[in-house]
Amino acid sequence: MEKNKKEDLKDMEIQELIKILIEKIGDNIPKDDNSEKTKEIKINKAKKRYKDYLQVLNDEYKTRIKIENEKTPVLLDLFTQYVESIYKQSEIYKIALTTYCKIEDILLRDFSDKQKNLFEQMIYCKDKMLDDGIEQAFIYGYAIACQMKNEAIQKYPLKKE
């Protein structure tokens, strides 16, 4: 993000920032809306995020990796539809989650309504940051695998017999 954008964000109120975040992610779309238009909107938001992730990867490592979304429709669905259903919690995750929930319960018990609202917004933002990092790592992994495959093919072309 450009420096001016960062500074602009710092000057915004929490509610404005939450609204922007919800719009960028697509959380303003009802979960039970499975219309074709809604699916298209979600896919386009995912494509834009993937493109942005790859731009950061390419800028950082001076590569020219490109994922052609039209050729990888399964990739778009895989993360958004199936990753949650195949993820299995580790023992570390279970311990951290249990501890987290206990701390959250204690805090919420003593918070005023305003504090509870701010806390819930903070948790929403934290969750979105984690989701973004996980999604970015997923795309990076796929992109790097594609790059490694291409480099291997260039270095070790198939021999014609």
User: How far apart, in whole angstroms, are the C-alpha atoms of residue 143 and residue 148?
Assistant: 9
Residue 89 has pLDDT above 70, yes or no: yes
* Residue 103 domain-assigned (yes or no): yes
Domain containing 49 equals 3-155
Residue-wise DSSP of 84-99: HHH----HHHHHHHHH
The pLDDT value recorded for residue 108 is 94
- Residues 135-156, mean pLDDT to the nearest whole number: 86
* Residue 131 domain-assigned (yes or no): yes
93-139 residue pLDDT tens? 999 999 999 999 999 999 999 999 999 999 999 999 998 998 898 88
* Residue 161 domain-assigned (yes or no): no
* Residue 54 domain-assigned (yes or no): yes
* Residue 105 domain-assigned (yes or no): yes
The pLDDT value recorded for residue 119 is 95
Between 7 and 133, the more confident residue is 133
40-78 residue pLDDT tens? 887 788 888 888 988 998 898 888 887 766 567 677 677
Question: How many independent structural domains does the chain possess?
Answer: 1
* Residue 99 domain-assigned (yes or no): yes
